Structure 1
Amino acid sequence: MKRLISNITFFLIVLVSFAQDGEDPVKWSQELVSLGDLQYELVMKANIEEGWHMYSQFTADGGSLPSEFTYVDSGTGYELIDGTVESETLKEYSDIFEVEETLFKNEAIFKQRIRLLNPDLSQVKVELFYQVCKEVCIPQDKDFYFSLDGTDIKPEEENVDAASMAKADALKLDLKNKEILKGIGGSSSGKDSGLLVIFGLGFLGGLIALLTPCVFPMIPLTVSFFTKKSQTRSKGIFDAGLYGFFIVLIYFLLSLPFHLFDSVDSQILNTIATNIWLNLFFFLIFVFFAFSFFGYYELTLPSSWANKMDSASNRAGGGLGIFFMAVTLAIVSFSCTGPILGGLLGSTALAEGDVATNLSAGMLGFGVALALPFALFAMFPAWLQSLPKSGGWMNTVKVVLGFLELALAFKFLSNADLVGNWGIFKREIFLGIWILIFLLLSMYLFGLFKFPHDGPRTKLSGLRKITAVVTSLFCLYLISGTFQLTNLKLLSGFPPPDFYTLAEQESDCPLGIDCFKDFEAGRAYAEKENKPILLDFTGWACVNCRKMEEHVWSDPEVFQLLNEEFVLISLYVDDRKTLPENEQFKFRYESGRVKSIDEIGEKWGTFQTINFNAASQPYYVMLSPDLYLLNSSIQNTDTATYEKWLKEGLKNFQAYQRNIVISSR
């Protein structure tokens, strides 16, 4: 079990980092040595940044991925003489994989001798896959080109064919009045409020973690340790405060690896959040977490970690010893905090904005909530008397968390279904599953059944009864929403959109509004009808897009404007349908990186980036059929602001039309 949890943690980090196109901590050089008699030696040298390491071709099975060389055209243009020789390596034991790994630090040199079979061969290409690791492991690909005749080689990956260039150019709009885009585009205050919400969710998660059996009993023990150990009360308060500070620092530091790579494809965060396999992986992980909270097994990090940290705290003493005590708490409480932190990671993946920044805000909130009691109770030790005694109520808290984790798991499964266009988890099915989950939670709270770690049945507390009643009312709310007796605005963004239903629908657009899902088709219709275009960059798995549609677009005034005055073009940037082969192409970014555009969502995501320099959703743009921008762009906002924005754009369109008529006379 320990090995499984460690592997899951490692795999999550690798999955996220694999998608990122950051700067490689390894700098490569190469050399071709002629040995005569049609023989050459290919030399590939790696300079590895301090603190990083990469793995040998011969590292142990079951550990990190080895370096792998592929010699293109080997056996036809040339043959290999023996294997690829490595420079000196190091051996280190991996606590994660529990094997001794073979790796390089600072420098690695690889040499391969070849003999030409074709004397006219002009170049040799070598492909290398390797991992470079620090706090995270980054899988990398590197291609080497060795010129045998002295001519310069331009790697074919850098070449983009003329057809692809033409299709990429066709995506670029000749926008008029483009400077107006520098208006709203997503206000900083909106982003700040979003971070505050994420911080609040993390803080709430930390408070909940305090009530679990892994953490709650530690509060009086730790506070008593500091107050009794210190010679003065002020020293005890200082030590407890320092302990709390280190707890905050540790959880904040856990988010920093996600900031290591800031040179990324502008669409990569959306790609991560809407990746079908990653959403399925999150689904399985959250189900796994849920059943651990139900008491069927325990999630623990290797006990050797806690023992080492505890031993270090005893040896170090002072501030360093307190730091190791905080690390020990983080390790031993993992069985309760791990699933909550997993939920926090999942929530930040679903939230608007930068995943790494959101995660840092959430982890900071979590750490603050977890650390606060240790400092407060040290300052006011008399408060310890008011703490409730440990008991069965903490198991109840864990079970409730388990049901919440289970409900969140199906959100990720729904995302995979929506993005993959499977048509399985329609709105009614999703709501039915949630009804069942919260009905079971209600039955549990009323004491109708138990889980393995629950003690003997006792009289239900008042708080548990109240929670059971609230849960039952929530079930009724879900049932009424399923049968459309009430709307489910409180849950906007979590269930699939209302047009993704088992019932036959006239339109597959939000609220039944006629919309286009192809820009040129929508633009042609707008030109024919002489109406302004509302360009809606959205996503199947975009929570804030659903909130805008169900809270703002549903307003009678806004709905009338959208339905009657505008041509709506909704472009789904996470649509994973494959483009027809004749529409697929390669796109070169300004950095020189080339990306294959094979899916509908990739096309519209690139379209958004190159024309509006934006990559978040929802993102709304108003323009005329001849591409005159009518107002600044706008994102997630309130009804009044959105209605005002629409009316201003409509007014600007009418004025623009009048100016065209006057200038044509």
Structure 2
Amino acid sequence: MKNFLTLLLTAFTFVTTYAQIPSGEVMEPVKWTAKVEKDSETDYTLVFNATIEDHWHMYSQFTADGGSLPLEFIFNNNEGNYELVGKAEESKTETAFNETFGVEETFWSHTATLRQKIKVTNPDNNIVQVEVGYQVCKEVCIMGSNLFEFNLSSLTAKEVKVFEEVLSGFKKKSEKQAVTTPDDENDTDPLTIFFGTLLAGLLVTFTPCVFPMIPMTVSFFIKQNSSSAAKGKFNAIFYGICIVVIYVLLSLPFHIFEGIDRNIFADISTNVYLNLFFFIIFITFAISFFGAFEITIPNSLASKADNASNSGGLIGIFFMALTLIIVSFSCTGPALGFVFGTVLSSDGGATLLSLGMFGFGLGLAFPFMIFALFPSLMSNLPKSGGWLNTVKVVFGFIELALAFKFLSNADLVLQLHLLEREVFIAIWIAVFAALTLYLFGKFSMPHDSPVPFLSVGRMLLGVLSLTFTIYLVPGLWGAPLKLMSGVLPPSTYSEAPMGFGGSGSTAAINNNELTEGAKVSVHGIIAFEDYDKGLAYAKEVNKPVMLDFTGHVCTNCRNMEENVWVNPQVLSILKNDVVLISLYCDERIDLPESEQFISEYSGRKINTVGKKWSDFQLGRYESNARPYYVLINLDETNLNDPVAYTPDIEEYLAWLKDGLSKFEK
């Protein structure tokens, strides 16, 4: 158990430092050189020389199955260009019986030479790319991967550094590698939260910090309990369950906070400093993913988890899971930030946060559990290599785009108009255009492997990124971009609020002179932002009132406005048949000193306009959901039951008509 945990920690240390430490300072017990020899016009010999540090052993291509991992050659561009002539010839090897694995192992000490003959079939191709994968062991074991590029025309060879998997920490003599209630929530769709975070958890398994651990971890449990396959599978599945439990436990303090103050999530989601903090965090992680530096958690935390794992049994497995979570933070941290940032900024409540963490943990743990149940599937896993860094860079672009969502939230709360809709869209166009160029191989990042050709997956992802970039462009001229509703700043928060060229100016509202306190809101709807002024106007025109408890950074509020309110029948009612009062519960304008008070519901000091409307909603309707819609009569009684987020147009329209019919009666 202890050895396996050390293995994880060493692997993490290598992954998180390789990008910024020169190769000579990384643990590299094997040094490689290569050359190419011309035997005839079409025949060549690729020569690989390895120098192995004292007391280390590197294993042969022909070492027995069931023991240490054999050396392997991967020829990246052989199809249609050249043919292999037999297996690579090896210099003299040594053999020794491994009592633990019960096999005769074949290996080299000090030096090794391998010679691979090839026959050229495409005279127009002069480049041969070969990746050498190997395992080298002393008291710990390391899996290395070196990429060589041979130029047959100049008879030269060079080494290209690629991602190396450090699997250290096991002693070779003993072990082998291997939701709240409707009134308390904002009605964010729990299934959307769950599946979105589940997908995030699955995606982070394809990062350099996690992916190499999957086959190793599953093999560890199965080999550790070789006498009982069922027990090995149970331990591996329990390991996955522990990952899920740990992530859910991280959300528990928020349940306590919510119990103390029901508005805590509303305050968090609209907190300027918190949104700026997430902006800086996402920018930092994006730059890290691009390869500028690596982010690590202090080793002391991992060491404590490592020591705790010595208790053995199920408790030890729990701390093994905790160690994986700690050491993989470099890659999972941005995704966790996305989970926290998304749920908190949507006023989702502690229950939705726990659901999100459950989904994320399950997504991360799923590969470990499924491969434990069906170990044969591991043979279908792609080999670790340079593609993992490509995945990391793609995540970096996504992190960069998401960072500006949090900066936009801060800008919206403060109403500074520094990051209006057009500017936001322009930034996203630039980010995803750059991502498109990267995927098409037009430029590379510091730690990328050479891309001799585009894979089908990379090409398709590039096409998807290009399509999304093109989709965003019309938004610069006022296109609604419904797919992005809730992400972009609202159309009213724009350089041209009423549309490009003034086509939607106030003239489109029949030149009606606005009543004091009224403003032109989304889709040209006349709205009030003060309850008393709006109610007075409703009595004057004898129309019912629709209270719209909303927020400047409320995602679902924007979704309703851009996908439901735009419906012609709904829009007609909101424009002509009701008086809309939009109460922004995150408005940071200070109340006059004489109007500030201590809430009898929460005990908080109410000193801003937003807190006033939030307290009003909580006190009168016992809800802090956003959006939250209430149809009231002129005597301020409810015409029907209030509703929260209702993305179904027909359902929302039926609710409006029901309230209107009762008002008329």
TM-score, length-scaled by structure 1? 0.67
Matches within 5 A, 1:63-462: 186=182, 191=187, 194-230=189-225, 231-313=227-309, 315-354=310-349, 356-462=350-456
Aligned counterpart in structure 1 of residue 468 of structure 2, from 457, 464, 474: 474
- Matched AA of 1:194: D
Residues 320, 596 of structure 1: alpha-carbon distance in 2 compared, 3 angstrom cutoff: closer
- Matched AA of 2:481: L
SS in 1 for 2:630: strand
* 1:602 corresponding residue in structure 2: 611
* 1:544 corresponding residue in structure 2: 556
1:644 aligns with 2:659: no
Question: CA contact under 8 A between 1:295 and 1:452: conserved in structure 2?
Answer: yes
Separation in 2 of the partners of 1:626 and 1:396? 62
Question: CA contact under 8 A between 2:184 and 2:625: conserved in structure 1?
Answer: no
* 1:498 corresponding residue in structure 2: 491
Residues 518, 243 of structure 1: alpha-carbon distance in 2 compared, 3 angstrom cutoff: same
- Matched AA of 1:372: F
- Matched AA of 2:571: F
Separation in 1 of the partners of 2:631 and 2:307? 63
Separation in 2 of the partners of 1:430 and 1:547? 17
1:535 aligns with 2:528: no
SS in 1 for 2:259: coil
Separation in 2 of the partners of 1:496 and 1:208? 27
1:516 aligns with 2:509: no
Separation in 2 of the partners of 1:294 and 1:418? 29
1:633 aligns with 2:642: yes
Question: CA contact under 8 A between 1:532 and 1:625: conserved in structure 2?
Answer: yes
1:589 aligns with 2:600: yes
Distance apart, 1:567 and its partner CA: 0.8
Residue deviations 1:101-133 (CA, integer Å, cap 9, x gap) = xxxxxxxxxxxxxxxxxxxxxxxxxxxxxxxxx
- Matched AA of 2:546: L
Question: CA contact under 8 A between 2:186 and 2:627: conserved in structure 1?
Answer: no
Aligned counterpart in structure 1 of residue 663 of structure 2, from 653, 656, 661: 653
Residues 259, 386 of structure 1: alpha-carbon distance in 2 compared, 3 angstrom cutoff: same
* 1:25 corresponding residue in structure 2: none
Which structure is higher in RCO with an 8 Å CA cutoff and minimum separation 6? 1
Aligned counterpart in structure 1 of residue 591 of structure 2, from 569, 579, 582: 579
* 1:96 corresponding residue in structure 2: none
Distance apart, 1:189 and its partner CA: 11
Separation in 2 of the partners of 1:434 and 1:392? 27
Distance apart, 1:310 and its partner CA: 3.0
Residue deviations 1:443-470 (CA, integer Å, cap 9, x gap) = 1111111222212233121111111111
Residues 544, 473 of structure 1: alpha-carbon distance in 2 compared, 3 angstrom cutoff: same
Distance apart, 1:205 and its partner CA: 1.1
Distance apart, 1:588 and its partner CA: 3.5
Distance apart, 1:550 and its partner CA: 0.6
Question: CA contact under 8 A between 2:270 and 2:553: conserved in structure 1?
Answer: yes
* 1:107 corresponding residue in structure 2: none
Residue deviations 1:199-227 (CA, integer Å, cap 9, x gap) = 21221111011100101000111111111
Could you tell me which runs of 5 or more consecutive residues in structure 2 were left unpaired when the two chains were aligned: 1-180, 499-505, 507-518
1:553 aligns with 2:565: yes
SS in 2 for 1:254: helix
Question: CA contact under 8 A between 1:186 and 1:636: conserved in structure 2?
Answer: no
Question: CA contact under 8 A between 2:183 and 2:625: conserved in structure 1?
Answer: no
Distance apart, 1:598 and its partner CA: 2.2
Distance apart, 1:518 and its partner CA: 0.8
SS in 1 for 2:320: helix
Question: CA contact under 8 A between 1:286 and 1:409: conserved in structure 2?
Answer: yes
Residues 508, 221 of structure 1: alpha-carbon distance in 2 compared, 3 angstrom cutoff: same
Separation in 2 of the partners of 1:560 and 1:415? 30
SS in 2 for 1:251: helix
- Matched AA of 1:589: E
Runs of 4+ in structure 1 off by over 6 angstroms are 187-190
Question: CA contact under 8 A between 1:186 and 1:634: conserved in structure 2?
Answer: no
Residues 268, 226 of structure 1: alpha-carbon distance in 2 compared, 3 angstrom cutoff: closer
Separation in 2 of the partners of 1:236 and 1:268? 44
TM-score, length-scaled by structure 2? 0.67
Separation in 2 of the partners of 1:629 and 1:307? 59
SS in 1 for 2:583: strand
Separation in 2 of the partners of 1:328 and 1:268? 31
Separation in 1 of the partners of 2:605 and 2:320? 49
Separation in 2 of the partners of 1:519 and 1:187? 21
Separation in 2 of the partners of 1:622 and 1:459? 61
Distance apart, 1:321 and its partner CA: 2.1
Distance apart, 1:281 and its partner CA: 1.3
Residues 458, 310 of structure 1: alpha-carbon distance in 2 compared, 3 angstrom cutoff: farther
Distance apart, 1:282 and its partner CA: 1.2
Residues 189, 414 of structure 1: alpha-carbon distance in 2 compared, 3 angstrom cutoff: closer
Residues 393, 643 of structure 1: alpha-carbon distance in 2 compared, 3 angstrom cutoff: same
Separation in 2 of the partners of 1:482 and 1:304? 49
Query: Which of the two has higher C-alpha Rg?
Result: 2
Residue deviations 1:575-626 (CA, integer Å, cap 9, x gap) = 11223344x32123246x3x33222111111121121111111011111222
- Matched AA of 1:362: G
Distance apart, 1:188 and its partner CA: 9.7
Question: CA contact under 8 A between 1:266 and 1:609: conserved in structure 2?
Answer: no
Separation in 2 of the partners of 1:618 and 1:602? 15
- Matched AA of 2:531: F
Residues 446, 554 of structure 1: alpha-carbon distance in 2 compared, 3 angstrom cutoff: same
SS in 2 for 1:297: coil
Distance apart, 1:530 and its partner CA: 0.7
Residues 331, 651 of structure 1: alpha-carbon distance in 2 compared, 3 angstrom cutoff: same
Count of aligned pairs: 464
Question: CA contact under 8 A between 1:212 and 1:398: conserved in structure 2?
Answer: yes
Separation in 2 of the partners of 1:262 and 1:530? 40
Distance apart, 1:262 and its partner CA: 4.0
Separation in 2 of the partners of 1:349 and 1:187? 17
Residue deviations 1:550-589 (CA, integer Å, cap 9, x gap) = 111000000011111111111111111223344x321232
SS in 1 for 2:324: helix
Separation in 2 of the partners of 1:596 and 1:320? 46
